[in-house]
């Protein structure tokens, strides 16, 4: 759902200004990276994945006092050419058992959907990579069970916390294991 | 059939002579009437067709006998008179002449007879030919041979010669046959090859010797060379003794070849003309060959072949000119590197080479190859300094543009030099420094460190124009001067009309690298510049903008604007600043002229540069003096302005003069940021300035770079005054600390470091500096005190410590920058490895490349990354696994 919106937005602002826009994206991302590096937030980190500055890898440490404590979760971020006027596309790369994350790693979070008048999403240009990752980190401890992508997980979260924890652990892979798969 | 048989027999006989020749028949034993075997008893002629009747046979027999007796060499005649044939002999020969077979027989007999005598009396005299002839005696050997041959020839051939005078054609033929066989038997013993070589050598020696007597001054006065050549008398009658003909012609050709290669060219008349007013000598050489050498060759060949009608064709003459010009070109090319090095004094040599090139097509590649080889053996090695290579590079550009205006040859020869220059680390910085060095009125370069500045480039910059010379050829469809690329151009040949030395030098490097380096040097220069209008720096920036990508020079422009703004800023908010310097005076017309760009400027734009300093009316008057107006724009006039008197700046006394430069940190190269305590007064002034600056209401934050400050220090000591201008602030701080203490205080370096919060490096530099100036001295090693009067110091005078460049430079060195930024780089590396998984250092997706991509300030290579990684490994932050690195834990 969120994908269709973001494509629409991209098409609107694309065109002749695209090259300049992507130059601005790179500049913005560079400054975000600088902030992330110079003022790091514990439990969160992100870095460009390769020569393309608009594709990043991120790492979130599972928050303490949640079923995800002590787990390291990998994500990928992909920034559209009109970023920060459209949200980045964020996916979990580590397999995760969570009410708001489907089995392909897609995340249901309002700030990851395009915002503005007439839109259901809550993305805003003042948000950045750091805030997005922090929101996702807090989503781990406080799922939005009202609109689950994984109904079973939503039910278990409310009913059986220990079974939930077991399913989380069963599904989780450490980053090193993901690397081996790849 | 019979003829065929006889021919075959002759061939066989020529190899294995079967005949037993008789001695001349004794007169007293005539055996008349032996018909059964006519002539057999004498072994004479036995042709069955020769004798018709017995009477004829007898007559022939008698004639033969008389002839052989006359011709026999056993009793050679004493003189020509003696050799005159008697009546009887004459009759005998006339009779024999009637019988061709008999005459031929007689010739054979004669040859055999001569052969025996030659072997006995001539060959021993020519024995020296059996051994190789030394070059030095070649002429003598030939002369001796000629002498021996001509005397013996005289002796042995007098009689046949006398016969040939009798007026019978057959006898003349007979004489030539006999002569041929004599020469054949005499010369047969001399090795032909050796003879030819020796002859060639002798010819050459004679020609060279004959040239030595010529007086080059005569030619010089006439402006033409007409030095004669000759072979000398010794070799005149070669043909007469059988040494002419093909052998001699071949030898002469060899000699002439050698002569043209060296001796003919390498003479005072065709010597290289030095100095700036030179012309090619090729014309002179062509004239000499045509008017002197070719007639000489013609005459010599006539003599050697005894053919008086021999004539050289025009194409032969042209050929000789070409050979001479070609060898001149070769001999010049062999020293081409020296000529290029001495440019422009050797223009003559280059013009010679150019003329030679015009005469032959494959000469070009020979010259290029030869020069490239000379350069690689003589220049492109560790022994040559970069400034030297650069200055030769500029000379190469000039020289080869003269040789080939289309630049094809230059393209070929400059390749190796360019490639080599790129491998030198200091090339870019030397070029950048050379661009900014000062040139005085006489064209001498004023450089602080001559090893860091290439004077040729500096002079070039001062000459070059601000024209936009970038290549527009491809897109300029209206270019009526367009020509196709030369056929011998390489694939990377770029046709360009106005490539000058600047373009070649700027093209040496990647523009980005170059701009970066130039920015650093420019920053250093701007900080030290005293000219408040920064005319020179402005001009240079404009120059770069016209040559390189203007958008990439943003930093340089910002830097210029910063220092200019600082001047007015100081005036506005720094009450203690004084402007007795040029900025307060009226701008000189020269300055205005310098400020007008080549492509014109509007009056308003120009006045904006000077509005602080002059009224509009004054300005208009000055502009009209130096600029011409076309349309809305002003252009600089091409006239020279009268020299202006240089005025000394008045020295300032009393209150402290204080000036601040506000720079935009983002656009300037990273600068020295050492922190230390300034003398109280300075610190207060900094504070006051900072406060006023913030009141101006702009958003900029002011951060004082104390290490960059420069101070004029005046010290009053007991017996003298010391004045030092442009002293770095740390030195002032150190000496001020001594002033703050009471007289005679002894301080150590450590004490100073703690008092001032200054780094050891700077303290050491300051102490060294003041000790060198004999302001401080060491009462005991390691401690310092003020040397109030010179007689206090009993120790040996200390050498004037030259401050290390690194300690003084306002810009941080690469290494220091790496050190300072290391924590940030390490954070990035950690982030990269954590989020991107383990990585190698090199490669497209390696750590170095990733860092460069995400962090534009990271300008280091794999080595530095490895250094950082190893440090991180020792701290346990990173682990190494083979070639890959990963975050620990």
Most confident region among B469-473, B541-545, B597-601, B882-886 by mean pLDDT: B882-886
* Closest chain A residue to B844, measured at CA: A51
Helices (H), B464-581: 501-506, 511-528, 535-547, 554-573
Q: By percentage, how much of chain B surpasses pLDDT 70?
A: 71
How many angstroms away from the CA of A159 is the closest CA of chain B?
Answer: 35
Please report the pLDDT score of residue A76 as a whole number.
92
Give Cα B25 distance to the centre of its chain. 81
**How big is chain B, counted in residues?**
889
Query: Which chain A residues are closer than 8 Å to B877 by Cβ?
Result: none
Is the pLDDT at A65 greater than 80? The verdict is yes
CA distance A140 to chain B (A): 19
pLDDT at B588: 59
Out of A30, A38, A57, name the one closest to residue B854 (CB).
Answer: A30
Q: Identify which has the larger pLDDT, B608 or B753.
A: B753
pLDDT at residue B643 tops 70 = no
Which has the closest alpha carbon to B521: B418, B609, B427?
Answer: B427
Which residue of chain B is at minimal alpha-carbon distance from A46? B835
- Whether A49 has its CB under 8 Å from any CB of chain B: the answer is yes
Task: Give ∠ CA B670-B676-B677 in degrees, rounded to 5.
Answer: 140
Average pLDDT of span B820-835: 82
Q: How confident is the model at residue A78 (pLDDT cuts 50, 70, 90)?
A: very high
Residue of chain B nearest A93, judged by CA positions:
B835
* Beta-carbon separation of A47 and B836 below 8 A: yes
Residues of chain B in contact with residue A74, where contact means CB-CB under 8 angstroms, are: 835
Contact B835 A49 (CB under 8 A): yes
How many CB pairs below 8 A link A and B?
52
Q: How far is CA B548 from CA B511, B513, B540, B544, in A?
A: 7, 12, 12, 6
The predicted-structure confidence for B775-825, as pLDDT tens digits, reads as follows 777 777 778 888 777 766 555 555 444 444 444 455 556 677 777 778 888
> Mutating which of B822, B833, B846, B854 best tests the A interface, going by the most A Cβ atoms within 10 A?
B854
Q: What is the pLDDT of residue B805?
A: 43
Residues of A identified as active-site: 108
The predicted-structure confidence for B428-446, as pLDDT tens digits, reads as follows 778 877 777 776 656 566 6
Q: Do A30 and B856 touch (CB under 8 A)?
A: yes
User: Does residue A175 sit at the B interface (CB-CB below 8 Å)?
Assistant: yes
Query: Residue B654 — pLDDT band, cuts 50, 70, 90?
Result: very low
- What's the gap in Å between the CA of B821 and the closest CA on chain A? 12
| Closest Cβ opposite residue B854 in set A33, A38, A58 | A33
Lookup result for tokens 């399913």? A167
Q: Given a cut of 80, is residue A125 above it in pLDDT? A: yes
Give the per-residue pLDDT at B283: 80
Once rounded to an integer, what is the mean pLDDT over residues B92-105? Answer: 74
Alpha-carbon span B266 to B272, nearest angstrom? 10
User: pLDDT digit string (tens) for B309-322?
Assistant: 778 788 888 888 88
Q: What is the pLDDT of residue B120?
A: 78
- The SS3 of residue A66 is coil
Q: Which residue of B has its CA nearest to A26?
A: B854
Residue B409 · residue B399 · CB < 8 Å: no
Strands in A33-173 per DSSP E: 44-48, 55-61, 72-78, 89-92
Name the closest residue on chain B to residue A27, using Cα atoms: B854
B119-132 mean pLDDT: 79
Kindly report each contact of residues B634-640 with a partner whose C-beta sits within 8 Å and lies 24 or more positions away, as own/partner: B634/B596, B634/B600, B634/B601, B634/B602, B634/B603, B634/B606, B635/B596, B635/B598, B635/B600, B636/B593, B636/B596, B636/B598, B637/B593
Q: Say yes or no: A50 contacts chain B, CB-CB below 8 A.
A: yes
Q: Angle between the B54-71 and B138-164 helix axes, to the nearest 10 degrees? A: 150
Q: What count of residues does chain A have?
A: 182
Cα separation, B80 vs B747, in Å, equals 121
Task: Identify which has the larger pLDDT, B242 or B558.
Answer: B558
> Closest Cα to residue B112, out of B177, B166, B30?
B177
Of B205-219, B442-456, B514-528, B787-801, the poorest mean pLDDT is in: B787-801
**Which chain B residues contact residue A48 at CB under 8 A?**
832, 836, 850, 853-854
Indicate the pLDDT class of residue B650, thresholds 50, 70 and 90.
very low
- Output the pLDDT for position A88: 92
Chain A residues close to B850, C-beta within 8 Å: 48, 50
Nearest-CA distance B537 → chain A (Å): 31
Q: What is the pLDDT of residues B269-315, one digit of tens each?
A: 777 666 655 677 788 888 888 888 888 888 888 877 777 777 878 88
Q: Which of A23, A29, A37 to mutate to test the interface with B (most CBs of B within 10 A)?
A: A37
Helix (H) or strand (E) holding B353: helix B347-359
Nearest CA distance, B845 vs chain A (angstrom): 6
The radius of gyration computed from the CA coordinates of chain A, to the nearest angstrom, equals: 17
What is the spatial distance between Cα B69 and Cα B86, in angstroms, rounded to a whole number?
12
Cβ contacts of A36 on chain B, cutoff 8 Å: 831
CB-based contact A48 B850, cutoff 8 Å? yes
Comparing CB atoms, the residue among B835, B844, B855 nearest residue A57 is B835
User: Testing the interface with B: which of A26, A42, A47 to mutate, by most B Cβ within 10 A?
Assistant: A47
Chain A residue numbers touching B835 (CB-CB < 8 A):
45-47, 49, 56-59, 74
Confidence of residue A22 (pLDDT cuts 50, 70, 90): low
Name the residue of chain B whose CA is nearest to A55's CA.
B836
DSSP B272: P
User: From the CB of residue B486, how many other CB atoms can be counted at a distance below 10 Å?
Assistant: 14
Domains of chain B by start residue, with CATH: 22-28+38-190 (no CATH), 191-330 (no CATH), 511-636 (no CATH), 692-808 (3.30.230.130), 814-887 (1.10.10)
What is the predicted ipTM?
A: 0.75
The closest alpha carbon to A47, from B795, B845, B778, B26, belongs to: B845
Residue of A nearest to B836 (CA): A49
CATH superfamily of A2-139+147-181: Ubiquitin Conjugating Enzyme (3.10.110.10)
- Per the CB < 8 A criterion, the answer to whether B250 and B196 are in contact is yes
Instruction: Give the separation between CA B422 and CA B842, rounded to whole angstroms.
Output: 22
Q: Å from B834 to nearest chain A CA?
A: 8
Query: Domain boundaries in chain A?
Result: 2-139+147-181
Contact assignment for A49 to B827 by CB distance below 8 Å: no
Q: Name the DSSP letter for residue B600.
A: -
Residue A134 to residue A42: CA distance in whole angstroms: 10
What is the DSSP pairing of strand B747-748 with strand B783-786? Answer: antiparallel
Amino acid B511: pLDDT? 74
Least Cα separation, residue A127 to chain B (angstroms): 21
A58 touches chain B (CB under 8 A): yes
CA-based nearest residue to B533, from B575, B574, B561: B561
Q: Say if the Cβ atoms of A57 and B853 lie within 8 Å.
A: no
In this prediction, residue A17 carries a pLDDT of: 42
Q: Does A33 touch chain B (CB under 8 A)?
A: yes
Which of the residues A25, A48, A174 would you substitute to probe the B interface, choosing the one with the greatest number of B C-beta atoms within 10 Å?
A: A48
Is residue B113 a contact partner of residue B105, using CB atoms and an 8 Å limit? no
Give yes or no for residue B621 having a pLDDT over 70.
no
In the block, tokens 């030679």 appear at B356
Which residues in chain A have their CB less than 8 angstroms from residue B856's CB?
30
Give Cβ neighbours of residue B3 (< 8 Å, ≥ 6 apart): none
Confidence class for position B707, pLDDT limits 50, 70, 90: confident
pLDDT in tens, B371-386: 888 888 888 888 888 8
Task: Average the pLDDT over B874-886 and give the result.
Answer: 85
Tell whether the model's pLDDT for residue B885 goes beyond 80.
yes
Residue A70 DSSP class: T
Minimal Cα–Cα distance from B556 to chain A, Å?
Answer: 21
Task: Find which of B394-398, B618-622, B747-751 is predicted with most confidence, using mean pLDDT.
Answer: B394-398
**Which of B822, B834, B848, B888 should one mutate to test binding to chain A, selecting the residue with the greatest count of A CBs within 10 A?**
B834
Q: What is the pLDDT of residues B135-184, one digit of tens each?
A: 888 888 888 888 888 888 777 777 777 777 676 677 777 777 878 888 77
CB contact (8 A) between residue B832 and residue A47: yes
CB-facing half-sphere around the CA of B215: CA atoms within 13 A: 4
């Amino acid at each position: 759902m969120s994908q269709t919106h973001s494509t629409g937005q991209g098409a609107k602002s694309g065109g002749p200004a695209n090259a300049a826009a992507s130059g601005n994206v790179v500049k913005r991302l560079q400054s975000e990276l600088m902030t992330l590096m110079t003022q790091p937030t514990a439990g969160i980190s992100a870095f460009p994945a390769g020569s393309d500055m608009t594709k990043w890898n991120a790492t979130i440490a599972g928050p303490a006092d949640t079923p995800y404590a002590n787990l390291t979760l990998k994500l990928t971020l992909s920034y559209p050419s009109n970023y920060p006027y459209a949200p980045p596309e964020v996916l979990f790369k580590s397999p995760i058992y969570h009410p708001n994350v489907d089995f392909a790693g897609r995340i249901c979070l309002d700030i990851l959907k395009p915002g503005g008048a007439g839109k259901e999403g809550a993305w805003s240009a003042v948000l950045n990579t750091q805030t997005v990752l922090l929101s996702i980190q807090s989503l781990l401890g406080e799922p939005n069970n009202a609109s689950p992508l994984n109904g079973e997980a939503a039910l278990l979260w409310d009913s059986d916390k220990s079974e939930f924890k077991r399913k989380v652990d069963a599904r989780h892979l450490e980053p090193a294991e993901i690397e081996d798969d790849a | 059939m019979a003829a065929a048989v006889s021919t075959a027999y002759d061939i066989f006989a020529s190899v294995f002579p079967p005949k037993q020749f008789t001695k001349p028949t004794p007169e007293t034993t005539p055996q008349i009437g032996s018909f059964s075997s006519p002539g057999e008893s004498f072994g004479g002629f036995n042709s069955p067709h020769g004798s018709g009747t017995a009477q004829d046979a007898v007559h022939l027999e008698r004639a033969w006998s008389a002839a052989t007796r006359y011709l026999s060499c056993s009793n050679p005649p004493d003189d020509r008179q003696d050799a005159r044939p008697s009546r009887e002999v004459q009759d005998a020969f006339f009779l024999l002449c009637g019988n061709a077979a008999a005459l031929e027989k007689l010739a054979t007999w004669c040859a055999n007879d001569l052969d025996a005598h030659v072997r006995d009396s001539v060959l021993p005299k020519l024995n020296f030919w059996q051994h190789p002839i030394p070059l030095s005696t070649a002429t003598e050997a030939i002369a001796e041979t000629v002498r021996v041959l001509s005397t013996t020839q005289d002796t042995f051939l007098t009689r046949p010669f006398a016969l040939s005078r009798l007026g019978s054609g057959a006898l003349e033929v007979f004489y030539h046959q006999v002569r041929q066989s004599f020469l054949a038997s005499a010369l047969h013993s001399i090795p032909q090859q050796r003879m030819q070589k020796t002859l060639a050598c002798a010819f050459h020696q004679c020609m060279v010797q004959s040239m030595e007597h010529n007086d080059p001054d005569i030619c010089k006065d006439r402006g033409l060379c007409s030095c004669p050549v000759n072979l000398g008398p010794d070799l005149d009658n070669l043909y007469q003794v059988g040494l002419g003909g093909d052998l001699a012609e071949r030898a002469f050709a060899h000699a002439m070849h050698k002569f043209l290669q060296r001796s003919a060219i390498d003479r005072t008349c065709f010597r290289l003309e030095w100095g700036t007013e030179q012309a090619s000598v090729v014309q002179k050489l062509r004239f000499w060959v045509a008017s002197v050498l070719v007639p000489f060759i013609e005459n010599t060949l006539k003599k050697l072949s005894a053919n008086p009608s021999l004539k050289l064709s025009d194409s032969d003459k042209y050929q000789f000119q070409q050979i001479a010009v070609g060898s001149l070109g070769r001999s010049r090319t062999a020293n081409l590197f020296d000529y290029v090095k001495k440019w422009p004094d050797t223009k003559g040599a280059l013009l010679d080479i150019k003329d030679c090139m015009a005469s032959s097509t494959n000469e070009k590649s020979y010259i290029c190859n030869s020069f490239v080889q000379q350069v690689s053996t003589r220049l492109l090695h560790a022994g040559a300094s970069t400034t030297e290579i650069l200055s030769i590079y500029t000379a190469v550009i000039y020289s080869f543009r003269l040789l080939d205006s289309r630049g094809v040859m230059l393209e070929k020869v400059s390749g190796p030099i360019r490639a080599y220059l790129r491998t030198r680390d200091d090339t870019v910085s030397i070029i950048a420094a050379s661009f900014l060095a000062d040139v005085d009125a006489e064209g001498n370069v004023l450089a602080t460190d001559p090893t860091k500045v290439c004077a040729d480039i500096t002079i070039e910059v001062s000459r070059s124009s601000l024209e936009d010379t970038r290549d527009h050829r491809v897109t300029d469809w209206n270019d009526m001067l367009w020509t196709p690329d030369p056929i011998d151009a390489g694939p990377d040949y770029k046709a360009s009309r106005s490539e000058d030395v600047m373009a070649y030098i700027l093209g040496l490097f990647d523009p980005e690298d170059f701009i970066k380096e130039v920015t650093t040097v420019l920053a250093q220069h701007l900080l030290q510049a005293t000219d408040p209008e920064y005319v020179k720096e402005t001009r240079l920036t404009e120059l770069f903008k016209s040559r390189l990508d203007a958008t990439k020079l943003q930093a340089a422009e910002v830097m210029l604007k910063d220092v200019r703004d600082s001047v007015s800023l100081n005036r506005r908010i720094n009450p203690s600043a004084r402007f007795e310097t040029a900025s307060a005076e009226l701008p000189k017309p020269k300055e205005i002229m310098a400020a007008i760009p080549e492509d014109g400027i509007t009056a308003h734009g120009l006045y904006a540069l000077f509005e602080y300093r002059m009224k509009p009316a004054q300005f208009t008057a000055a502009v009209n003096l130096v600029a011409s107006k076309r349309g809305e724009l002003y252009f600089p006039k091409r006239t020279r302005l009268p020299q202006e008197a240089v005025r000394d700046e008045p020295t300032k006394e009393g209150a402290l003069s204080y000036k601040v430069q506000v720079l935009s940190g983002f656009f300037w190269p990273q600068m020295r940021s050492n922190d230390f305590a300034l003398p109280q007064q300075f610190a207060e002034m900094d504070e006051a300035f900072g406060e006023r600056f913030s009141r101006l209401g702009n958003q900029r934050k002011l951060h004082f770079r104390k290490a960059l400050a420069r101070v004029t220090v005046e010290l009053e000591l007991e017996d003298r005054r010391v004045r030092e201008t442009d002293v770095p602030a740390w030195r002032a701080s150190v000496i001020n600390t001594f002033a703050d203490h009471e007289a005679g205080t002894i301080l150590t370096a450590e004490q100073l470091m703690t008092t001032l919060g200054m780094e050891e490096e700077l303290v050491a530099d300051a102490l060294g500096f003041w000790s060198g100036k004999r302001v401080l001295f060491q009462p005991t090693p390691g401690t310092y005190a003020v040397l109030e009067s010179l007689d206090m110091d009993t120790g040996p005078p200390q050498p004037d410590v030259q401050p290390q460049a690194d300690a003084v430079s306002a810009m941080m060195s690469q290494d220091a920058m790496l050190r300072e930024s290391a924590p940030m780089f390490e954070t990035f590396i950690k982030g990269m490895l954590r989020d991107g998984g383990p990585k190698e250092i090199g490669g497209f997706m390696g750590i170095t490349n990733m860092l460069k991509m995400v962090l534009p300030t990271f300008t280091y290579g794999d080595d530095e990354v490895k250094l950082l990684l190893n440090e991180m490994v020792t701290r346990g932050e990173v682990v190494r696994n083979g070639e890959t690195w990963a975050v620990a834990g």
